[in-house]
Amino acid sequence: MLQWLGLAFILLLADQFTKVLILGYYHLGESTYVTSFFNVVRVHNSGAAFSFLASGSGWQRWFFVGIAVAAVVFILFMLRSHAGQRLFCFAMACILGGAIGNVIDRLLHGYVIDFLDFHLRNWHFPAFNVADSAITLGAACLILDELLRVRRSR
């Protein structure tokens, strides 16, 4: 289990380090053009994925913290229960590191700091961060793990 907690910790450090850089070098809404499809921008997200519930009156901050704390406890249980399943544990560790990274933002700032901004012509993906990327990678690996498990059982 220690290796998975180590991975989660590395992801958490990478997430928090990049957010400190963004806070230090960018004002809210300020952006840097990097390529024709990518900008670095400072955005504050008081909601969840894709700014879900961002327009709430503040209750959502504690709601999302509570969900994340419950998820962390559940993930720690799952890591302990499934220690021999490498892909599954990798996925859980990614989700764990990302969830803790975004919870730290909510507790310290009341919002999550997002800064990776992808766009193409009229299409624009909501800004996200390293924690969101780790959670997405973890979710994709969970799906892959389940597909492989079903395939092996046939």
- The one catalytic residue in 15, 105, 114, 145 is 114
129: how many CB neighbours lie within 10 A of its CB? 24
- The one catalytic residue in 15, 105, 117, 132 is 132
93: how many CB neighbours lie within 10 A of its CB? 25
Q: Which two tokens stand for residue 80?
A: 């302990």
Q: Known catalytic residue: 114?
A: yes
Query: What pLDDT, on the 0 to 100 scale, is given for residue 10?
Result: 98
**How far is CA 48 from each of CA 4, 11, 53, rounded to the nearest angstrom?**
25, 19, 7
Q: Known catalytic residue: 117?
A: no
Instruction: Write out pLDDT tens, residues 14-73.
Output: 999 999 999 999 999 999 999 999 999 999 987 655 555 555 555 666 787 888 889 999
Domain residue ranges in the chain: 2-49+57-153
Query: What pLDDT, on the 0 to 100 scale, is given for residue 64?
Result: 74
Report for 47-51, 63-67, 79-83, 129-133: range of highest mean pLDDT: 129-133
More confident residue, 154 or 51: 154
Q: Which of 135, 152, 149, 130 is nearest to 91 (CA)?
A: 135
